[in-house]
Structure 1
Amino acid sequence: MNFLDLAKSRYTTKSYNPNKRATEQTITELKEILSLSPSSINSQPWKFIFISDERLKSELASVSYFNQQKINEASHLVVFSVIDDIQQFENQIKQNLPEGSVNYYNQFLKPKPEAEIKSWLEHQVYLSLGFFLSACASMNIDSSPMEGIKNEEYGKILQLDGYKALFAVAIGSRNPEDSNQPSIKAKSRLPLEQTIQSF
């Protein structure tokens, strides 16, 4: 299936089959794919946490608003977190990035207010989300990106030291009766002419 067909067929899964689990090989591949996600200056200000343990998944589901059921049904929950300590981030890039990348950060980003720097860091994690959802679609894995989580509660439960949970993605196999799948409910998008321009 080419990428256009994948884009037409992928959707945000609302109901999962709790009896179908993702294989260890699949999860290992997804972990490697996420580790290869793109980010500005290769900054990688993230931590990705894969959760299959049912007790822990259920605890996180309980602080996920209306997403509770899909998390409990899904095979795995993947939590996307961002580094929340700017000094820790600066130490990380100093140790791992080439001088040119560090100089770019020091010249163009470090002088900005803390809130703007943290916003930039969060944007990098969102880049990885698009990469991850596309990977899932290419591997025939259903997914549900969710910002509807209690971020601070996630941080406490997962003991995220120096990181902040931004959002989570449930993954697994859809319930065949999930009413949100494109074969039942047609995708709704603005007309291409309204959102795409060419010059």
Structure 2
Amino acid sequence: MNFLNIAENRYTTKKYNPNKKITEEKIEDLKKILRLCPSSINCQPWKFIFISDEKLKKQLAEVSYWNEHKIKEASHLVIFTAIDDIAKLENQMKPYLPEGSITFYKEFIKTLPESGIKSWMQHQVYLSLGFFLSACACMEIDSTPMEGINKEKYAEIVKTGEYKPLFAVAIGYRDENDHNQPSISPKSRLSIEKIIQSL
């Protein structure tokens, strides 16, 4: 299957089969894929937390608003976090970034207000989300990206420390009757003419 076919068939899963779990081998592959995600100047301002423990997953589900049942049914939950301490990011980057990247950071990022620097870091984590969702689809793993979580409670429950939870992704395998799958509810997208411009 080529990537266009994968994109046509991938969707946001609303109902999972709680009895079907992702193999440990596939989870390890997903971890390796996340490690390879792109980020501006290769700053890597993130940490990805994989949750498989059912008790912990239940705690997080209960502070995830309307996403509760998806998390409880899914095989795993992955929490995407961003570094929330600018000094930590700078110290982390120093050993491996080339001089040109450090110069770019100092001239164009470090000169921003604190909120701007943190926003820049968080944008990198959102880049990793697209990479991750595509990887899941290629591996025939269903997924549900969720901003509808109580970030403060997530931080308390998982003890994220210097990292701030931004969103989470439930992963697993769809229930065969999930109403949101394209075979039941065809995808609705704007036309190519409305969203693509060629010059």
TM-score, length-scaled by structure 2 = 0.99
**Residue in structure 2 matched with residue 130 of structure 1 by the alignment:** 130
**Residue in structure 1 matched with residue 162 of structure 2 by the alignment:** 162
Aligned residues: 199
* 1:111 correspondence with 2:84: no
**Residue in structure 2 matched with residue 188 of structure 1 by the alignment:** 188
Distance 2:123 2:170 in 1: 20
**Residue in structure 2 matched with residue 171 of structure 1 by the alignment:** 171
Distance 1:60 1:98 in 2: 39
- Give 3-state SS (helix, strand or coil) of 2:181's partner: coil
Distance 1:95 1:62 in 2: 40
Q: Give the deviation of 1:95 after TM superposition.
A: 2.2
Distance 1:12 1:33 in 2: 20
Distance 1:113 1:60 in 2: 32
Q: Describe how 1:1-199 pairs up with structure 2 within 5 A.
A: 1-199=1-199
Distance 1:81 1:68 in 2: 19
State the 4+ residue runs in structure 1 displaced beyond 6 angstroms.
none
- Give 3-state SS (helix, strand or coil) of 1:90's partner: helix
Amino acid across the alignment from 2:160: L
The runs of 5 or more residues in structure 2 that have no matched partner are none
Q: Give the deviation of 1:102 after TM superposition.
A: 1.1
Query: What is the alpha-carbon root mean square deviation over aligned residues?
Result: 0.5
Q: Give the deviation of 1:96 after TM superposition.
A: 2.5
The runs of 5 or more residues in structure 1 that have no matched partner are none
- Give 3-state SS (helix, strand or coil) of 2:177's partner: coil
**1:2-32 deviations in Å (ceiling 9; x for gaps):** 0000000000000000000000000000000
Amino acid across the alignment from 2:99: E
Q: Give the deviation of 1:94 after TM superposition.
A: 1.1
Question: What percent of counterpart residues are identical?
Answer: 65
**1:35-77 deviations in Å (ceiling 9; x for gaps):** 0000010010000000000000000000000000000000000
Amino acid across the alignment from 1:85: D
